[in-house]
Amino acid sequence: MEYIDVVFDQARNSSKAIVMEDLNSKSVEWGSSYTDRRGIYLTERIAASNLVILNQGDAPTFVRGEYQSHIDITIATQSTASEVIDWKVLNTETLSDHRHILIETTWKTRCKPKYGQKSIIYQSILKEEIRISFATENT
């Protein structure tokens, strides 16, 4: 879990951050019907990092045929979470097993991901789409 620990540490050390990740873990905290071993670890790590889970859990984030799951997690810093108006899974075609997630905020301008030490964008890790964006207070 070294990779996700780095991501959580960077988010925790940012004043404003949103992390969207396919963590392939289950927890009742983000909508699963049970919590697996990975889910226990991640739930504890999220709490220890003082981050907030944004998932509402009402719709699955992953759908393959009849199988549905809540394995894509959205977390944010406390200050960013307080600016989130809505979090929802869209039922639109994605050409993937993963659903698009829409986050509405109180921000007046659009955030553009910055590249460098304070932000990370990973397009593919383990053949799954991962989106991580960090917003700074000045964005």
**CATH code for the domain in which residue 127 is found:** 3.60.10.10
Q: What integer pLDDT is reported at residue 130 of this predicted model? A: 32
Q: CB 123: neighbour CB atoms within 10 A? A: 7
Phi, psi dihedral angles at 37 (to 5 degrees): -60, -45
66 domain residue, yes or no: yes
Contact call for residues 102 and 90 (beta carbons, < 8 A)? yes
Confirm if 21 and 132 have CB atoms less than 8 A apart: yes
CB within 8 A of 76, min separation 6: which ones? 11, 17, 18, 19, 51, 52, 54, 84
- 64 has which bridge partners? 67
Q: How many Å apart are CA 7 and CA 93, to the nearest integer? A: 28
Instruction: Tell me what pLDDT residue 105 has.
Output: 87
User: What average pLDDT does this structure show over 35-44?
Assistant: 94
Question: What is the domain count for the chain?
Answer: 1
Give the model's confidence band at 17: pLDDT under 50 very low, under 70 low, under 90 confident, else very high.
confident
Q: Which residue has the higher pLDDT, 108 or 97?
A: 97
Tell me whether residue 115 is in a domain: yes
The pLDDT of residue 70 is above 60:
yes
pTM: 0.73
- The answer to the question of residue 79 being in a domain is yes
> What φ, ψ does residue 45 adopt, rounded to 5°?
-70, -40
Q: CA 39: distance to chain centroid?
A: 14
* 43 domain residue, yes or no: yes
- DSSP class per residue in 27-57: -GGGT-SS--HHHHHHHHHHHHTTEEE----
Location of structure tokens 């593919």:
124
* Segments forming the whole domain that contains residue 51: 2-133
Is 138 part of a structural domain of the chain? no
In a domain, 139, yes or no: no
